[in-house]
Amino acid sequence: MKFESITNLTLPKIGFGTWKIGGGSIADPKTDSVSLAALRSALDTGYIHFDTAEMYANGHAEELLGQAVRESKVKREALFITSKVMPSHLQYDQVLSSCENSLRRLQMEYLDLYLIHWPQAGMKLEDTFRALNKLVRDGKIKHLGVSNFNVKLLKQAQELSETPIVNNQVPYSLSDRSYVKNGVLEYCQENNILFTAYSPIEEGRLRSNKTLEAIAKNHNTTTYQIALAWVISQPHIITIPMSANPRHIQENFQAADIELTQNEIDQLTNS
């Protein structure tokens, strides 16, 4: 596994996302066995960064992640757990409650990283960060970040945070370069902020092309693995694909070890 480092923080290039673990926007207990099997497979494979949110399955994803960690042989301190506060909970008291509820569902004492999941029109970031800063001071959160923030909002977050903003989590893949066009990737790379790519293979719907297929054949890998390798070939970028298929979980993890040539990276970038 390759790693990406910024000041005081090192994370694996590929982590495990938990969107659709435990359900979609609401909990679906009928999927618990499949979800727990996926989490156990990820832990057994060697993933150490797990990304979740109170919004995922209305908190049930956090419950299942916590259960899988407790049942595993992996110590909590060996893992890096990220969660997020939903956009409708950005007022001071709501942020504090949301974090406490996430910790209760996870049955953990702290989060390694806590993100604002989405910006919301009319939000008062001053109140949000007053709560987030308190959570850091109280030891409930180790690092702060944001998600789906443009450069203007990212700068505001940096000004309001008492500790460095270490992460901005946004959609990014071979077919989605919107956060390159709006300047966010460049800003993160120039300001020591990790850029976490979500939906790096479009939830398994990434469209293939001749370039992608040829490079995959050359490396004896899948096109999805090459797509992931391209994402993490760039500085300051990590990613969090998700799968419930044990084979795909392993393949995603192994994608970090694929060494693309600069020519291949350029071909994919321009494809």
Radius of gyration of the chain (CA): 18
Is residue 56 among the annotated active site residues? yes
Which pair of tokens denotes residue 43? Answer: 């832990």
pLDDT in tens, 152-194: 999 999 999 999 999 999 999 999 999 999 999 999 999 999 9
**Domain encompassing residue 69:** 10-207+236-245
User: Which CATH number is 161's domain given?
Assistant: 3.20.20.100
Asked whether the predicted pLDDT for residue 206 surpasses 90, the reply is no
CA angle 52, 55, 61 (to 5 degrees): 45
Which position has the token pair 């370069």? 177
Q: What is the pTM of this model?
A: 0.96
pLDDT in tens, 227-256: 999 999 999 999 999 999 999 999 999 999
For position 7, what pLDDT does the model report? 84
**Across the chain, what does the average pLDDT equal?**
96
pLDDT in tens, 54-87: 999 999 999 999 999 999 989 999 999 999 999 9
Exactly one of 47, 56, 198, 224 is catalytic; which is it?
56
User: Considering the domain boundaries, does residue 213 fall inside one?
Assistant: no
Where would I find the H helices in 60-91?
Answer: 60-71
Asked whether the predicted pLDDT for residue 204 surpasses 80, the reply is no
Task: Work out the pLDDT band at 203, boundaries 50, 70, 90.
Answer: confident
User: Considering the domain boundaries, does residue 101 fall inside one?
Assistant: yes
Give dist(CA 177, CA 212) in Å, integer. Answer: 17
Question: 188: closest CA among 157, 226, 143?
Answer: 157
- Number of domains comprising the chain: 1
